[in-house]
């Protein structure tokens, strides 16, 4: 089913089948280079649900580690936290937030591209990816964008190294 660095994930058979397929796609063992996944597709295709299923599967497989918990973050909220860090105490500085994001073995960054893009948000997202790739930490990113639509080519280049799941099919929320 998987080819090279791309998997077309047909999601038109319902959420349950999509979650089962996502779990089957997840690697049985962590490779030395880490295992990063980019989940893309239109609105309502189940990207967040698939990412959450992969996170839960990882927790089921590895067990819950209180010292190194997995983390799920909505990117627009995360970037708001970074922007607010300018006015906070030392524990919530930009450096502290970057450290917290690099700590978990598995980090899910949900809905990249939904935020307003600025040089600052692009730099922060690139720095998060660079830190995690450099430390061989696993990362899952969900986005409505394809690689060609990502405004920062440095970010697109890093994400192009990820295994890709393309969510297709109808909007399961039902568009009006």
> What are 89-119's pLDDT values in tens digits?
545 688 888 898 999 989 999 999 987 788 8
pLDDT top residue among 117 and 15: 117
Tell me what pLDDT residue 60 has: 74
Tell me what pLDDT residue 35 has: 78
Tell me what pLDDT residue 118 has: 86
Whether 68 is in a domain gets the answer yes
Whether 54 is in a domain gets the answer yes
Contact assessment for residue 69 and residue 107, using Cβ atoms and an 8 Å cutoff:
no
DSSP state string for 43-62: TTSSHHHHHHHHHHHHHHHH
Confidence check: pLDDT of 10 > 50: no
Whether 164 is in a domain gets the answer yes
CATH number at residue 37: 3.40.50.300
Contact assessment for residue 11 and residue 167, using Cβ atoms and an 8 Å cutoff:
yes
Total tally of structural domains belonging to the chain: 1
Tell me what pLDDT residue 3 has: 32
Other Cβ atoms within 10 Å of 129 Cβ, number: 22
Tell me what pLDDT residue 68 has: 67
Confidence check: pLDDT of 140 > 90: yes
Whether 1 is in a domain gets the answer no
> pTM of the entire structure?
0.79
Please give the average per-residue pLDDT across 131-142, as a whole number.
93
3-class SS of residue 117: coil
Whether 174 is in a domain gets the answer no
Q: 31-89 pLDDT, tens per residue?
A: 333 579 999 999 888 899 888 888 887 777 776 666 667 889 999 888 888 888 776 55
Question: If pLDDT is split at 50, 70 and 90, which confidence band does 7 have?
Answer: very low
Tell me what pLDDT residue 8 has: 36
Could you give the CA distance from residue 126 to residue 153 in angstroms, rounded to a whole number?
Answer: 10
Whether 118 is in a domain gets the answer yes
3-class SS of residue 78: helix
Domain that holds residue 41: 6-168
Q: Helix 119-134 to helix 75-84 angle, to the nearest 10 degrees? A: 110
Collect all residues with Cβ–Cβ distance below 8 Å to 4 and sequence separation of at least 6. Answer: none
């Amino acid at each position: 089913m998987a080819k090279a660095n791309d998997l077309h994930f047909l999601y038109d058979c319902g959420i349950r089948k999509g979650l089962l397929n996502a779990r089957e796609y997840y690697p049985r063992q962590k490779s030395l280079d880490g295992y990063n996944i980019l989940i893309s597709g239109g609105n309502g295709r189940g990207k967040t649900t698939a990412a959450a299923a992969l996170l839960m599967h990882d927790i089921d497989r590895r067990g819950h580690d209180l010292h190194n918990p997995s983390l799920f973050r909505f990117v627009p909220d995360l970037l708001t936290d970074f922007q607010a860090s300018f006015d906070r105490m030392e524990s919530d500085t930009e450096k502290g937030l970057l450290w917290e994001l690099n700590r978990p073995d598995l980090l899910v960054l949900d809905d990249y591209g939904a935020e307003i893009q600025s040089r600052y948000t692009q730099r922060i997202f690139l720095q998060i990816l660079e830190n995690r790739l450099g430390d061989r930490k696993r990362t899952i990113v969900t986005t409505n964008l394809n690689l060609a639509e990502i405004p920062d080519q440095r970010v697109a280049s890093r994400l192009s190294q990820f295994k890709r799941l393309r969510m297709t099919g109808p909007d399961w929320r039902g568009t009006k």
